[in-house]
């Protein structure tokens, strides 16, 4: 009896460890994408208010639509719940089985592990700041004074940690370059991402704060944006050069090419949002002198002009990256087609079905191998920057562009999980059929395990690995 109990305890412990191994950075990134997508949907209804468009009464995208409110609320709370669930489970994984945490495969030195830990901290800060920005738009006006102090405290903690991370990242990168370790700019650009995300989150936090607190918060946000603009632009340029040089050999060229859009879009979004809120906040503090009002108008003008320049550069890279990705996919399609033709060039039936088989294979590999978070986060950030640009400049073309990007993100978030679910179910059904047919459970269990492993495809990360 004691042996059975010991075996049962060991089995339960192994099951717990296996379950904890599933708690990784993908939970954090999924939470960030859910909150950011909900924020995009909410900001779209906000941007529509700048246009004199006569919408029908039953318009589903109006700000008063129950469908939009319910959809945004469900996504927001799902992302926040995933974040709150991730933190204790990941800490438990670190305490119970720290050896199962994956290490940096490129460098086993302590410096490589430190870079990976800094990257994880950057992802955590981005997720928390995105959740704060999204939650501030969902707080009821009667509860806003109660949660304002807590959210302001969390923002200050995240902003301080982001500033420290950005300060540490520069000498770390320089030291790695001096030792000729070829550090990736994409990893270090993520370390500067929390600073611009913190400054962008200010635009939503000022809505639930008093005017004095909001004014102080805007001053700190401008300081964060000023200290991060040069490193973000520098590492973004290095990231773009790396993407142009290496996208041809990547399994997902689109994810590599649009990766720089994340930090640049947040940088553009933050300066436009700060200018918009500065005019609102500092314009309401007008006293005997008109200096705050003039300062707010100046901040608004500077944010609009800088946002115009940065957004134009973002749009150019967005189009150029997709053109390069299409060219790379077409070349891969030609290589696959030639591979099918070389199998039996004399068979007419093979030649007639080559294009169909190649397109099916290419579409399946694209959906199964696409890292959703690495693609959805830059696109959602660019959509937010486009919505702010459309609201400030009253640009109907930018509004149409934002609609296209939102539909693009929605298709990715729906099709990729659906394709992976179908692929996973297909392998499970095939393995079960083999079990029933051959009655050989010993070998088929191994087939099920291998099928499950081959069908489980990770969602990818916000930054390149």
Dist CA 349 CA 360 (whole Å) = 17
Dist CA 360 CA 362 (whole Å) = 6
Dist CA 270 CA 218 (whole Å) = 11
Q: Is pLDDT at 451 greater than 60 in this prediction?
A: no
What integer is the mean pLDDT of 400-415? 91
Cα–Cα distances (Å) from 169 to 42, 175, 228, in that order, read: 33, 10, 12
Give SS3 for 38. Answer: helix
DSSP letter at 252 equals -
Give the pLDDT score at 453: 46
Contacts of residue 347, Cβ cutoff 8 Å, sequence gap at least 6: none
- How is 143-157 classified by DSSP, letter by letter? THHHHHHHHHHHHHH
Q: Which of 12, 388, 400, 429 is nearest to 203 (CA)?
A: 388
Sign of CA dihedral 51, 55, 57, 58: negative
What integer is the mean pLDDT of 215-220? 90
Phi, psi of 307 (to 5 degrees): -65, -35
Radius of gyration of the chain (CA): 25
Q: Could you tell me if 287 and 330 are in contact, meaning their C-beta atoms sit under 8 angstroms apart?
A: no
Look at 98 and 47; give whichever has higher pLDDT: 47
- How is 51-104 classified by DSSP, letter by letter? S-----TT-TTSTT-HHHHHHHHHHHHHHHHHHHHHHHHHHHHHHH-GGGSPPP
pLDDT, tens digit (0-9, with 9 covering 90-100), for 256-309: 888 889 889 999 999 999 999 998 888 776 555 567 778 888 889 999 999 999
Give SS3 for 258. Answer: coil
Cα–Cα distances (Å) from 205 to 133, 219, 240, 296, 416, in that order, read: 7, 13, 32, 17, 33
Sign of CA dihedral 447, 448, 449, 453: positive
pLDDT, tens digit (0-9, with 9 covering 90-100), for 345-354: 555 455 555 5
Q: Could you tell me if 205 and 138 are in contact, meaning their C-beta atoms sit under 8 angstroms apart?
A: no
Q: Which of 301, 182, 181, 162 is nearest to 232 (CA)?
A: 162
- How is 302-324 classified by DSSP, letter by letter? HHHHHHHHHHHHHHHHHHHHHHH
Sign of CA dihedral 167, 171, 176, 182: positive
Q: How far from the centroid of its chain's Cα atoms is residue 278's Cα?
A: 27
What integer is the mean pLDDT of 124-141? 83
Sign of CA dihedral 127, 132, 133, 134: positive
Q: Half-sphere exposure of residue 418, counting CA atoms within 13 Å on the CB side?
A: 6
Dist CA 157 CA 201 (whole Å) = 13
Q: Is pLDDT at 359 greater than 50 in this prediction?
A: yes
Give the pLDDT score at 245: 78
What is the number of other CB atoms lying within 10 angstroms of the CB of residue 112? Answer: 17
pLDDT, tens digit (0-9, with 9 covering 90-100), for 62-85: 544 567 778 888 888 888 888 888
DSSP letter at 109 equals S
Give the pLDDT score at 267: 93
Mean pLDDT score of the chain, rounded to an integer? 77
pLDDT, tens digit (0-9, with 9 covering 90-100), for 136-194: 877 765 566 778 888 889 999 999 999 888 888 777 777 776 665 555 666 666 778 88
Q: How many residues does the chain have?
A: 465
Query: How far separated are the first and last CA of the chain, in Å rounded?
Result: 49
Q: Which of 234, 221, 215 is nearest to 194 (CA)?
A: 221
Give the pLDDT score at 326: 84
Q: Is pLDDT at 386 greater than 90 in this prediction?
A: yes
Give the pLDDT score at 230: 86
Q: Which of 143, 125, 147, 138 is nearest to 38 (CA)?
A: 138
Q: Could you tell me if 259 and 314 are in contact, meaning their C-beta atoms sit under 8 angstroms apart?
A: no
Beta strands in 160-279 (DSSP E): none
Give the pLDDT score at 318: 94
Q: Could you tell me if 278 and 218 are in contact, meaning their C-beta atoms sit under 8 angstroms apart?
A: yes
Of these ranges, 320-334, 352-366, 370-384, 435-449, the one predicted with the greatest mean pLDDT is: 370-384
Dist CA 131 CA 139 (whole Å) = 12
Q: Is pLDDT at 441 greater than 80 in this prediction?
A: no
Dist CA 358 CA 333 (whole Å) = 7
Give the pLDDT score at 358: 55
**pLDDT band, very low/low/confident/very high, at 407 (cuts 50, 70, 90):** very high
């Amino acid at each position: 009896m004691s042996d059975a109990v010991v075996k049962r305890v060991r089995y339960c412990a192994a099951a717990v460890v296996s379950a904890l191994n599933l708690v990784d950075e993908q939970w954090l990134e999924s939470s960030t994408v859910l909150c950011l997508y909900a924020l995009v949907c909410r900001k779209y209804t906000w941007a529509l208010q700048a246009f004199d468009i006569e919408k029908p009464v039953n318009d589903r995208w109006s700000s008063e639509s129950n469908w939009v409110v319910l959809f945004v609320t469900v996504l927001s709370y799902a992302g926040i719940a995933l974040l709150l669930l991730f933190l204790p489970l990941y800490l438990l994984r670190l305490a119970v089985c720290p050896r199962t945490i994956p290490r940096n495969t490129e460098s086993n030195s302590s410096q490589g592990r430190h870079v990976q830990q800094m990257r994880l901290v950057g992802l955590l800060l981005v997720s928390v700041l995105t959740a704060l920005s999204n939650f501030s738009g969902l707080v009821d006006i009667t509860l806003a004074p109660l949660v304002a102090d807590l959210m302001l405290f969390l923002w200050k903690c995240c902003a301080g940690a982001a500033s420290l991370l950005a300060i540490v990242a520069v000498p770390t990168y320089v030291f790695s370059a001096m030792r000729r370790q070829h550090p990736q700019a994409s990893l270090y650009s993520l370390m500067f991402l929390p600073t611009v995300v913190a400054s962008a989150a200010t635009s939503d936090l000022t809505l639930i704060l008093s005017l004095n607190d909001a004014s102080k918060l805007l001053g700190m946000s401008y300081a964060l944006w000023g200290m991060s603009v040069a490193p973000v632009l520098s590492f973004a340029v290095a990231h773009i050069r790396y993407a142009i040089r290496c996208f041809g050999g990547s399994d997902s060229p689109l994810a590599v090419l649009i990766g720089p859009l994340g930090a640049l879009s947040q940088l553009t979004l933050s300066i436009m949002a700060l200018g918009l809120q500065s005019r609102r906040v500092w314009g309401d503090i007008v006293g005997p002198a008109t200096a705050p009002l003039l300062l707010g108008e100046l901040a608004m003008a500077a944010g609009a002009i800088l946002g115009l320049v940065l957004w134009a550069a973002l749009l150019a890279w967005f189009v150029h990256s997709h053109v390069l990705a299409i060219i790379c996919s077409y070349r891969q399609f030609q290589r696959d087609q030639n591979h099918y033709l070389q199998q039996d060039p004399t068979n007419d039936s093979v030649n007639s079905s080559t294009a169909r088989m190649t397109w099916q294979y290419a579409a399946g590999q694209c959906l199964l191998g696409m890292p959703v978070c690495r693609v959805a986060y830059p696109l959602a950030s660019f959509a937010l920057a486009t919505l702010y640009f459309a609201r400030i400049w009253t640009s109907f073309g930018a509004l149409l562009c934002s609609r296209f990007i939102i539909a693009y993100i929605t298709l990715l978030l729906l099709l990729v999980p659906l394709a992976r679910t179908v692929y996973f179910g297909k392998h499970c059904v095939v393995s079960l059929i083999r079990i029933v047919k051959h009655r050989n459970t010993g070998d088929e269990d191994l087939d099920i395990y291998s099928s499950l492993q081959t069908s489980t495809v990770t969602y990818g990360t916000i930054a390149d690995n």
